[in-house]
Amino acid sequence: MLKVSHLERTYPAQPGGAAVQALKSVSLSVEQGDIFSLLGPSGCGKTTMLQCIAGLETPDAGRIVIGGETVYSRDERIHLPANERGLGMVFQSYAIWPHMSVAENVAFPLLQRGRNPGREQIARRVDDALAMVELAGYGNRSATQLSGGQQQRIALARALVHKPRLLLLDEPLSNLDAKLRDTMRIELRRLIKSIGITAIFVTHDQVEAMGMSDRVALMRAGKVIQVGTSKEIYLNPHSAFAADFMGSGNLVACTISDVDNDRAVTTTPFGQIQAKVAAGLRAGDDAILVIRPNAPIIHTQPVDAQGDLAQIPGNVSSVTFLGEKIEVRVCLSGGYDFVVTMNTFEAPVEGQKVYLTLPAERCIVVHKDHPVSSAARSVDLEGLAA
Amino acid sequence: MMADVSAEQPSGTARWTFLASPSLIKIALLVVVAILVLGPVIVLLRASLAPQDVLPFETSAFTFANFRQIFAGNDTFTLLTTTIAYAGGSVLLGVGAAALVAWLTERTDMPGATVIRVFLFSWMAVPPLVIGFGWVLLINPGNGALNVLARAALGLTSPLFTIYSFWSLIIITAFSVFPTAYVMLGGLFSNMDPQLESAGHVHGSRSFTVMRRITLPLLIPGILSVGIFMVMIVVQAFEIPFIVGLSAQIRVLSTRVYLLASPTTGIPNYGLSSAFGVCLLGLACLLMWVYFRCVGTGEKYRVVTGKAFRPRRQKLGVWRLPVTCIVFALFGVMILPLLMIFWTSFTASYQVPSLAALGSLSFDNYSRALASPFAQQAIINTLVLVFASATLVMFLGSLIAWFSVRDRGLAARILDVLAFAPTAIPPVVMVIAILLVYIRTPVYGTIWILVLSSVTVQLAFATRTMTSALTQLHKELGDAATVCGASWWTSFRCITLPLLRVQFLSGWLFVAAHTSRDLTIPLVLMTSSNVVLASAIWMMWDFPDLPGAAAMAVLLVLGLLVIVLPVQILATRGRSGA
Ligand SMILES: Nc1ncnc2c1ncn2[C@@H]1O[C@H](COP(=O)(O)OP(=O)(O)OP(=O)(O)O)[C@@H](O)[C@H]1O
Ligand SMILES: [Mg+2]
């Protein structure tokens, strides 16, 4: 449905600043009917990417194909203007026009480009669109009299009323409060799926991306780092950045002592641990061992460590009650503070000696981050210190 | 549901829509603005290098004779020093008074602050032309009302005041600088973060010390930049030096430029006039440069933030009554010339105000003025001029603002600079240059050349207003329309313009007020068929028909007040309500 290849976008230097390379040869491919997330930290180029697809921003190089039609190609000198791409878009600020009523807002796309389907047809389709977002009967309200959640749904109705071939959403949930965000996320997914439209969804929140999308592209500093379902990226990240961004985890610097197929033996400050290994790592490499907080199995007594199980003793240094779970910090032999989450009903006491059992399939060795940014390093260090 | 998607895809668009594409509009705008702004400047430069007494188009000769003549005589040196002394003196007085009154109304418990604010904000409804005439009637040495009264009361033999002196010119100009400077300073004083002052109080300083050590240093840069800006304005000003200064033989650059181009006797010397115009332009550009050096270019689009501080108000204590009296006395003096004009408009022939003359007052002048075809034509012309130029210039300004805020390409930047340039071009110079460009075309002599000149002169203001408005409008509002399928033009017309309607309207009113009170443009371009109210007043005054001129002046002021006053009262109310 959507194919983006080698897209580049550099914002020219503003007076008193340097040029910003917002997209660096980004390639993506989105299947018909998928909800596809662009996930990444602030400033990584998600909005730029979306705007290039929408046609609001002109890339410097590359190619964009929507549903078989090339809408941008540097080499073929094609650039279809945004208003001729036939897309729908929900903006971060919703961009509801305050000088129009709700119905006028929603009817707007139906009246563009020389179309005028007639009064009844417009009224019917506006009503349908409003009913679809469960705001039937709100047509005559002024757009300024709506709550945040309602505005968001109006924006969605406006983006869908002209049956676009692709729906673009730029952080549509970020302006809602936490509770509403959760319900709207489920609602949004249900709605998009029921229409069957392909959607590109931008977010910087990994929980949102996981809850919404079929596939996720993880972005960082203008590049796509990893593409896959959220489960794939969570369980098999390629890099420390991907591991850290998709969820919390203990990131431990280690050295790979042996690689066998998809398994590796790593040397860590607290002993040898077996783990899955990301592609491209070889014996002798310095790497990062990722252990999710819910990965270790905790015993109060030493058990037989057999096969690929590793067992590490430690002392509970603190226990934090978080409701559904508790967070336990375990001080390991090398002086490491290791974060583990546990069932609320199995809370250990502080100072207690525990044994962490680590099955190899729950641990993964990933590439150390390229020294792209020092920010990533400090994330690693935090992980180590934690 | 996806099945019918392809049917929804836009089919071929109407053939003419390419005319509304942004790049074509941008090019058209560039051409229009270049013709408006660059055309006159180029012709001015050409004329300054052409022999005297010929139009720049009619010769191919180049000569530096004009500049040689300017720099040869020490007449020029006097002219320059007079101009600078005049501008400096009146700005010092005007901005000083404005700063004091702004501090009193914004930061102290002086009563009547709101009245003062509305009064000073509405003062832009009063044409400098009318003020000039008013002062002439008040203090001319022969039969000026104040002089006559003083003679009667004090038994003096010589006049107490004279309008025909350098000091009178400076003081009268200071009175016209005062309201503008107040408007610029008021926001500065009320938006100052009171925490900075509170910090001083907390540390045990006395009020006076806080004012001297904290408040004043914080405000000095602002006051200074307003001062430099006002010097720029006064150097460019033409009307008061023209009305008050000429009889007193006080020449400044702007009046010299005018007199060379439209001498009372003899033929126009366009060459020399243009050369002086180039000098004045240079001086204005220099001041502009100084201004931007002082305030930083960021200030160009500075918007007074709506941030509502509740500043700590200084208690005036025993000073409250005397200070209030002095301030209101000042406004009394400011109004005097207006009252004088008002009085004169009811007299059959000019006489000094007295109880005895009260019986002979009548509305005759008004009915006479309104009945004459000359005045009717002037009123119609004024309406056409005001509506056409305010609408056109605000529309142009909005378009330019859109490109300079949203497009930011090279062409957009050139557009922005071109639109800003008229700020540095003194109106009298600009108008003479426009005269030179169009004198041989059919536009010359019609009301439309006045429209064209007003648009050029007000372009910078309109663009600045709409630019600061547009920067506050979220970009996504326009983008949303584009993604919905709207063409650039539709998005501009249906989304951007309606959302900026408040700023558009207030800009429109400002331009309308300034266009209708302006004398420079109608005077320089005056022919028998394009007389507007301002030039009609001037002609009647010159004739001389003082009562008739006064009646027309009162009508003009009333018309302007109708536009300006409601807006100012609403704005002030909105401000105190916030
Ligand atoms: N108009 C612009 N001019 C110059 N630089 C820009 C412009 N827009 C974005 N950038 C820069 O490009 C980079 C990518 O910006 P973008 O808006 O795509 O980030 P983002 O991933 O959407 O971030 P966020 O999550 O904060 O919205 C940033 O470094 C940003 O500063
Ligand atoms: Mg963004």
User: pLDDT tens for residues A317-337?
Assistant: 888 888 888 899 998 877 788
> Model confidence at A370, in pLDDT bands (50, 70, 90)?
low
Residues around the ion ligand 2 (C-beta < 5 A)? A 47
- For residue A253, CA distances in Å to A334, B2, B241 come to 12, 49, 81
**Is there a contact between A320 and A330 (Cβ–Cβ < 8 Å)?**
no
- The residue ranges of every structural domain in chain A are 2-231, 239-366
CATH of the domain spanning B22-47+365-546: 1.10.3720.10
- Letter for the amino acid at A317? S
Query: Which protein residue has the closest C-alpha to ligand 1 atom 12?
Result: A22
Asked if the Cβ–Cβ distance from B1 to A196 is below 8 Å, we say yes
Report the alpha-carbon distance of residue B83 to residue A121 in Å, rounded.
Answer: 70
Tens-digit pLDDT profile for residues B377-417:
999 999 999 999 999 999 999 999 999 888 877 888 888 88
Q: Is pLDDT of B6 > 50?
A: no
A23 Cα–ligand 1 center, Å: 10
Any atom of ligand 1 within 6 Å of the Cβ of A152: no
Phi/psi of residue B315, nearest 5 degrees:
-85, 130
Check CB contact of B58 with chain A, cutoff 8 Å: no
Ligand 1 centroid distance, CA of A49 (Å): 10
Q: What is the pLDDT of residue B507?
A: 87
B326 has pLDDT over 70: yes
Specify the pairing of strand A297-299 against strand A325-332.
Answer: unpaired
Which residue's CA is the closest to the ligand 1 atom numbered 28? A43
What residues in A contact B13, CB-CB < 8 Å?
A: 84, 113-114
**Least confident among B7-16, B389-398, B431-440, B510-519:** B7-16
A83 and B14 within 8 Å at the Cβ level: the answer is no
- Tell me which of B5, B13, B484, B500 to substitute to probe the interface with A (most A C-beta atoms closer than 10 Å): B484
Q: Outline which parts of chain B fall under CATH 1.10.3720.10.
A: 22-47+365-546, 73-305
- Give CA–CA dist B511/B39, Å, rounded: 22
Report the gap between the CA of B376 and the closest CA in chain A (Å): 40
pLDDT band at B19 (very low <50, low <70, confident <90, very high): low
Q: What is the pLDDT of residues A250-293, one digit of tens each?
A: 888 889 888 888 888 888 888 888 888 888 888 888 889 999 99
Cα(B178)–Cα(B325) distance, integer angstroms:
18
Give percent above pLDDT 70 in chain B: 88
Architecture of the domain spanning B73-305: Orthogonal Bundle (1.10)
Give the separation between CA A90 and CA B271, rounded to whole angstroms. Answer: 62
- Token pair belonging to A76: 């073929």
CB A356 within 8 A of CB A330: yes
Query: What's the CA-to-centroid distance between A22 and ligand 1, angstroms?
Result: 7
Angle at Cα A14 formed by Cα A10 and Cα A20, nearest 5°?
A: 30
Q: Which two tokens stand for residue A367?
A: 């590439």
Question: Angle CA(A245)–CA(A250)–CA(A254) in degrees, nearest 5?
Answer: 110
Q: Mean pLDDT score of chain A, rounded to an integer?
A: 86
What whole-number distance in Å separates Cα of residue A359 and Cα of residue B48?
91
pLDDT band at B509 (very low <50, low <70, confident <90, very high): confident
Lowest mean pLDDT segment, chosen from A187-201, B324-338, B523-537, B563-577:
B563-577
Torsion of CA B556, B561, B563, B567, to 10 degrees: 160
Asked whether B414 and B30 are in contact (CB, 8 A), the reply is yes
Looking at this protein, which amino acid is placed at residue B170?
A: I
Tokens 């426009």 belong to: B434
Which pTM was predicted?
Answer: 0.83
pLDDT at A342 over 60: yes
Strand-pairing partners, residue B314, are B108
pLDDT of residue B193: 61
Cα–Cα dist B212/B216, whole Å: 6
Q: What is the pLDDT of residue A349?
A: 85
Residue type (1 letter), A368: K
How confident is the model at residue B207, as a pLDDT? 66
Element of type H or E holding B369: helix B364-371
Reported confidence tier of residue B3, pLDDT bands at 50, 70, 90: very low
Q: Is the CB of A43 under 6 A from ligand 1?
A: yes
Three-class SS state of A21: strand
Phi, psi angles (nearest 5°) of residue A217: -110, 120
CB-ligand 1 contact for A204 (6 Å cutoff): yes
pLDDT at B577: 44
Q: How do A363-367 and A271-277 pair as beta strands?
A: parallel
Q: Are A95 and B482 an interchain contact pair (Cβ–Cβ within 8 Å)?
A: no
CB contact under 8 A, B480 and A97: yes
Looking at every residue in chain B, the average pLDDT score rounds to 83
CB–CB contacts below 8 A, A to B: 97
Locus of tokens 């000095």? B220
Q: Indicate if A239-366 has the same CATH topology as A2-231.
A: no
For residue A222, the ligand 1 atom closest to its alpha carbon is 14
What's the CA gap between A107 and A158, in Å, rounded?
Answer: 7
Q: Is the pLDDT of residue B466 over 80?
A: yes
Which of B111, B250, B240, B118 minimizes the C-alpha distance to B175?
B240
What's the gap in Å between the CA of B12 and the closest CA on chain A? 9
* Cβ proximity of B210 and B201 under 8 Å: yes
Nearest Cα of chain B lies from the Cα of A143 at a distance, in angstroms, of: 13
Mean pLDDT of A340-344: 88
ipTM score of complex: 0.82
Q: Do B173 and B94 contact (CB within 8 A), yes or no?
A: yes
- Render B527-572 in DSSP notation, one character per residue: -TT---HHHHHHHHHHTT-HHHHHHHHHHHHHHHHHHHHHHHHHHH
Q: What pLDDT sits at residue A386?
A: 37
End-to-end CA distance of chain A: 43
pLDDT digits (tens, 9 = 90+) for B92-142: 999 999 998 988 888 788 888 888 888 888 888 889 999 999 999 998 888
Q: Tell me, what's the pLDDT at B32?
A: 94
> B17: helix, coil or strand?
helix
Q: Are B473 and B7 in contact (CB under 8 A)?
A: no
Strands A353-358 and A271-277: unpaired
pLDDT tens-place string over residues B178-231: 998 988 887 777 766 666 666 666 666 666 676 667 667 777 777 888 888 889
Residue A40: CA atoms inside 13 Å, Cβ hemisphere, count? 24
CATH label, A2-231, candidates 2.40.40.20, 3.40.50.300, 3.30.420.480, 3.40.50.10190: 3.40.50.300
Q: What's the pLDDT band for B8 if we cut at 50, 70, 90?
A: very low
Whether the pLDDT of residue B470 is over 60: the answer is: yes
Greatest extent of chain B over all pairs of C-alpha atoms, in Å: 101
Q: Tell if the CB–CB gap between A109 and B1 is shorter than 8 Å.
A: no
Identify whether the C-beta of residue A2 lies closer than 8 Å to the C-beta of residue A53. yes
Please give the DSSP secondary-structure letter assigned to residue B494: I
Q: Does A318 touch chain B (CB under 8 A)?
A: no
Whether A99 contacts chain B with CB within 8 A: yes
For B290, residues 6+ apart whose C-beta sits below 8 A from its C-beta are: B228
Q: What pLDDT, on a 0 to 100 scale, did the predictor assign at position A308?
A: 67
Q: Looking up tokens 């904000």, which residue turns up?
A: B121
User: What is the per-residue pLDDT for B494?
Assistant: 92
What percent of chain A shows pLDDT beyond 70? 94
In the sheet where A223-228 sits, what is the strand order?
Answer: A88-90, A166-170, A198-203, A35-39, A215-220, A223-228
Q: Decide if B480 and A109 are in contact by the 8 Å CB cutoff.
A: no
Tell whether ligand 1 has an atom less than 6 A from the beta carbon of residue A47: yes
Of ligand 1's atoms, which has the minimum distance to the CA of residue A50? 18
- pLDDT of A382 over the 70 cut: no
B4 has a chain A CB within 8 A of its CB: yes
A318: part of which helix (H) or strand (E)? strand A310-321
User: What three-state secondary structure class fits B158?
Assistant: coil
The residue nearest atom 4 of ligand 1, judged by CA position, is A11
Mean pLDDT across A45-71: 92
Which among B4, B8, B498 is the nearest to A99, CB-wise?
B498
Instruction: Tally Cβ neighbours within 10 Å of residue A385.
Output: 8
CA atoms within 13 A on the CB side of B141: 11
What are residue A200's DSSP bridge partners?
A36, A168
Mean pLDDT over residues B495-506, rounded? 89
Ligand nearest to the CA of A18: 1
Closest by CA to B512, choosing from B551, B559, B552, B553, is B559
Which residue minimizes the CA distance to atom 14 of ligand 1? Answer: A45
Report how far residue B421's alpha carbon sits from residue B417's, in angstroms, rounded to the nearest whole number.
Answer: 6
Binding-face residues of A in 21-50 toward B, CB within 8 A: 33
Residue nearest to atom 20 of ligand 1 (CA): A43
Average pLDDT value for residue range A139-162: 88
- Contact predicate A225/A233, CB 8 Å: no
- Which atom of ligand 1 lies nearest, measured to the CA of A41? 25
DSSP string, B316-339: -GGGHHHHHHHHHHHHHHHHHHHH
Note the pLDDT of residue B208. 66
- Topology of domain A239-366 in CATH is OB fold (Dihydrolipoamide Acetyltransferase, E2P) (2.40.50)
My answer on whether omega of the bond before B128 falls inside 30° of 0, hence cis, is: no
Q: Do A158 and B484 touch (CB under 8 A)?
A: yes
Q: Which atom of ligand 1 is nearest to A12's Cα?
A: 4
Amino acid at residue number A129: A
The two three-digit tokens of residue A168, written as one number: 């673009």
Q: Do B479 and A56 touch (CB under 8 A)?
A: yes
Cβ contacts of A81 on chain B, cutoff 8 Å: 482
CA angle A82, A87, A88 (to 5 degrees): 115
What are the chain B neighbours of A86 within 8 Å (beta carbons)? 8-10, 485
Higher pLDDT, B151 or B29: B29
Q: List, for residues A126-136, the tens digit of each pLDDT value.
A: 999 999 888 88
Q: Which residue has the tokens 């904290």?
A: B214
Residue A342: beta bridge partners? A326
- Percent of chain B exceeding pLDDT 90 equals 31
Query: Which two tokens mark B55?
Result: 């139009």
Distance of CA B406 to the CA centre of its chain: 28
Q: What is the pLDDT of residue B445?
A: 87
Q: Is any atom of ligand 1 closer than 6 Å to the C-beta of A9?
A: no
Ligand nearest to the CA of A51: 1
- What is the separation of C-alpha B162 from the centre of its chain, rounded to a whole number of angstroms? 27
pLDDT digits (tens, 9 = 90+) for B241-277: 998 888 778 888 889 889 888 887 778 888 888 888 8
pLDDT band at residue A385 using 50, 70 and 90 as cut-offs: very low
Within 8 A by CB and 6+ apart from A187, the residues are: none
